[in-house]
């Protein structure tokens, strides 16, 4: 049955599903980062998600923000590098914005993405068009704001589609940040690895709330 108004422990289970999917997707993420960067994104995300599972699995959560913030802190402390900081910030800053919410619905999804995206951009300095995970995140956050009154499964499906479209659009961008910067126009044709991670994460959250 489709789920709306998730409890803290349902949020935990939804995030654990995303962790498992990222771990399984290591080869895809490795290939994506090999095309543009140094090829370590798959292994880094896998390490981060193993740490997330250790902190979340079997824990009882009494507040909506806690599983999200716990996930962010686990990523920050286990991954290192650029992606540890930006992905950790997404979940930590996004989660913090949920403090006091009675449940996780479409409104909270919008709040999470708005604060998370703002946090990532102020931490990492990337703007839309720089060919980073921000190019999947910003369209997802914008979409979430327009569907904040919908039921969560509809809102999450729309957000996942926006993240995927943003990831696809990153193929046509020239990298201006990080290691891919030196490739210049040779970065064309490949999606950004972090944007691939963002689209996998939201596709999994959408599957969780749809089932």
Contact between 107 and ligand ADP (CB under 6 A)? no
Between 108 and 117, name the residue whose CB sits nearer to ligand ADP.
117
What's the rounded Cα separation, in Å, for the pair 42 and 31?
Answer: 8
The C-alpha atoms of residue 41 and residue 51 are separated, in whole angstroms, by 15
- Measured from the CB atom, the residue of 24 and 38 that comes closer to Mg ion is 38
Using CB under 6 A as the binding rule, whether residue 37 contacts ligand ADP is answered as yes
DSSP code for 103: S
What tokens does 23 get?
């771990």
Rule CB under 6 A: which of 76-95 touch ligand ADP?
81-83, 86
37 is an interface residue for Mg ion by CB under 5 A: yes
Contacts of ligand ADP in 170-189 (CB under 6 A): 177-179
38 binds ligand ADP (CB under 6 A): yes
- Note whether 135 binds Mg ion by CB under 5 A: no
Question: CB-based contacts of 109: which residues, under 8 Å, 6+ apart?
Answer: 144, 148, 152, 155, 156, 159
**What tokens does 63 get?**
């507040």
Per CB under 6 A, 34 contacts ligand ADP: no
Cα 58 from Cα 13, distance rounded (Å): 10
164 contributes a contact to ligand ADP by CB under 6 A: no
């Amino acid at each position: 049955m489709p789920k709306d108004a998730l409890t803290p422990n349902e949020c935990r289970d939804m995030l654990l599903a995303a962790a498992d999917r990222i771990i399984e997707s290591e080869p895809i993420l490795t290939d994506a980062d090999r095309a543009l960067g140094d090829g370590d994104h798959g292994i880094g995300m896998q390490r981060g998600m193993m740490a997330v599972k250790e902190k979340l699995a079997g824990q009882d959560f009494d507040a909506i923000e806690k599983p999200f913030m716990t996930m962010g802190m686990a990523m920050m402390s286990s991954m290192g590098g650029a992606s540890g900081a930006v992905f950790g910030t997404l979940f930590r800053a996004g989660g913090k914005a949920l403090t006091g919410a009675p449940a996780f619905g479409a409104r909270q999804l919008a709040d999470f993405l708005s604060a998370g995206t703002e946090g990532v951009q102020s931490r990492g300095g990337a703007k839309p068009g720089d060919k980073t995970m921000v190019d999947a995140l910003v369209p997802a956050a914008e979409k979430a704001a327009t569907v904040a009154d919908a039921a969560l499964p509809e809102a999450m499906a729309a957000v996942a589609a926006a993240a995927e479209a943003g990831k696809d659009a990153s193929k046509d961008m020239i990298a201006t940040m990080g290691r891919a910067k030196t490739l210049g126009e040779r970065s064309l044709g490949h999606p950004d690895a972090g944007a691939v991670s963002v689209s996998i994460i939201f596709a999994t959250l959408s599957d969780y709330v749809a089932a």
